[in-house]
Amino acid sequence: MATPLTAARLLKALRDEGLHVVEHRNWRTHNRNHKGSWGPVNGVMIHHTVTSGTDSSVELCYNGHSTLPGPLCHGVIAKDGSVHLVGNGRANHAGLGDDDVLRAVVNETALPADNEANTDGNRHFYGFECVNLGDGKDPWPAAQLEAIEKAAAAICRAHKWSQRSVIGHKEWQPGKIDPRGFTMDAMRARIGNRLGGTPEGPSKPPAKPPMAYEPFPGAAFFATGRRSAVVTAMGRRLVAEGCGKYQVGPGPDWSGADRDSYAAWQRKLGYGGGDADGIPGKASWDRLKVPQV
């Protein structure tokens, strides 16, 4: 058993495990603590939402409904593997369950059959709702399963628990079937393997692809009557370089203002005379770096 993690420690633990975490509204102070105790905590419970769609599922788990006010868990794990935090403290997710199961979780021993509903689970378990219809047909993407593994491992690591502190709702409360579509034994094995290693560290945003630039279209491209988005993009770059001679533009039609502006760019590069006539050449064009359109 343990003192619950603060909002800051929970967020850090999840991110340090390599998860992409989204903070939803005022999740840090959103709880049901006025209805009962929160803690000591003993484990992590996994559920499925019986819903589809990330945004609607997150809102439901944050708000709850008329017969069961939110938060309905601490985090929602989406199919893309993102974890959306919706509560911190007591949450309406576990309900009444079997005291023998709780004892096994505390002792980290084999789980007995859940045949009673006599113990308040909302006090003792962190809860993660995973977006899935729970019909046995809705798929569990690899990214989502990995996020379940990481989220559970993050909390276990923070409390120095083993994988035996992670259970499914179906292992806690008689009659429940969630999570449906994978076995908790298999998930605990994954969590155990992860706990045997070291955290991945905060996830990094995907690297931005390198900027693509318009190749030099040839001097003949820049002729009276030419209309192209490339001309607009060129004009914007000339303005950015302080060489714009436009009163209205830049626009898609090649004009005298474009030519005057490009001549100013050529002079800025050190060209003079006939080499600064306002007609792009390959060398000056490549240095202007016109974004690809």
Query: What is the distance between the alpha carbons of residues 9 and 158, in angstroms, rounded to a whole number?
Result: 8
The string of pLDDT tens digits covering residues 64-121 is: 999 999 999 999 999 999 999 999 999 999 999 999 999 999 999 999 999 999 999 9
Q: What is the pTM of this model?
A: 0.71
CATH number of the structural domain 7-195: 3.40.80.10
pLDDT at 52: 96
pLDDT of residue 208: 75
pLDDT in tens, 131-152: 999 999 999 999 999 999 999 9
Q: Where are the alpha helices (DSSP H) in the chain?
A: 7-16, 54-63, 99-107, 142-159, 184-195, 229-240, 256-268, 282-288
Residues of the chain with pLDDT under 70: 1, 203-206
Q: Are 81 and 102 in contact (CB under 8 A)?
A: no
The torsion angles phi and psi of 165, rounded to 5 degrees, stand at -90, 5
Q: Which residue has the tokens 């209205």?
A: 248
